[in-house]
A = this chain, B = another copy of it.
């Protein structure tokens, strides 16, 4: 809840690394950062609730935030996970509508809030920003389609897709296969895959039965990367 005149270094860094206005002048970015209301929140804090009008938008300075729906049957559908440098609800601000999702801090986090008008002012002053905005928005739309795509898959496939991505990014090669650390509680993973721990557990068991992977504690060894990838892309591998 602290607003200050001198800009916190981490806040400034966050603004500088934000894709939205990467075409803006350094001065404009600094000005944006200076006008932000910076808050530090604990994990689990609600940042926005579905239906709220978007009077301001945010920028994640540190930590992670999660945009999600509460599905009809109580399960949460994660829409997007935002990290340091990612904008938060900027789209809603641009569209001038109400929040269509809930947003909460997925970890302890630092968030900088700006009035929506700041974004419009920036567009006014530096029209070239529009270009990067358009690119970002377009990509966002395309990415959202993949959220929907993922939801259309069953849980083992969603898990396979997730593991495949993880393996690509941070897999350690071993004689047996690519090895990855889950690095979080299974329950949290379940949440981010839009399911519950029990079902996730069964999904792991299924992939193991099918010979795609091996697991020991929270270490997963992928035996058949190919099959994992094709499962995760939604093409059945009969």
Q: Which residues of A contact B (CB under 8 A)?
A: 69-73, 75, 77, 79, 91-92, 94-95, 97, 100-101, 123, 127, 130-131, 133-135, 137-142, 144-149, 151-154, 157, 234, 236
Contacts and interface: CB of A to CB of B under 8 A. Distances in A.
Contacts of A138: 91-92, 94-95, 137
Nearest to A98: B142
Given A69-B152, A72-B157, A77-B152, A145 B100 contact: yes
Given A72-B154, A72-B157, A153-B72, A92 B142 contact: yes
Given A79-B145, A95-B142, A100-B145, 18 more contacts: A69-B149, A72-B152, A72-B234, A73-B154, A95-B138, A97-B139, A97-B142, A127-B130, A130-B130, A130-B133, A134-B134, A137-B138, A141-B141, A141-B144, A144-B145, A148-B148, A148-B151, A151-B151
Given A141-B141, A142-B100, A148 B95 contact: no
Contacts of A137: 134, 137-138, 141
A71 B147 contact: no
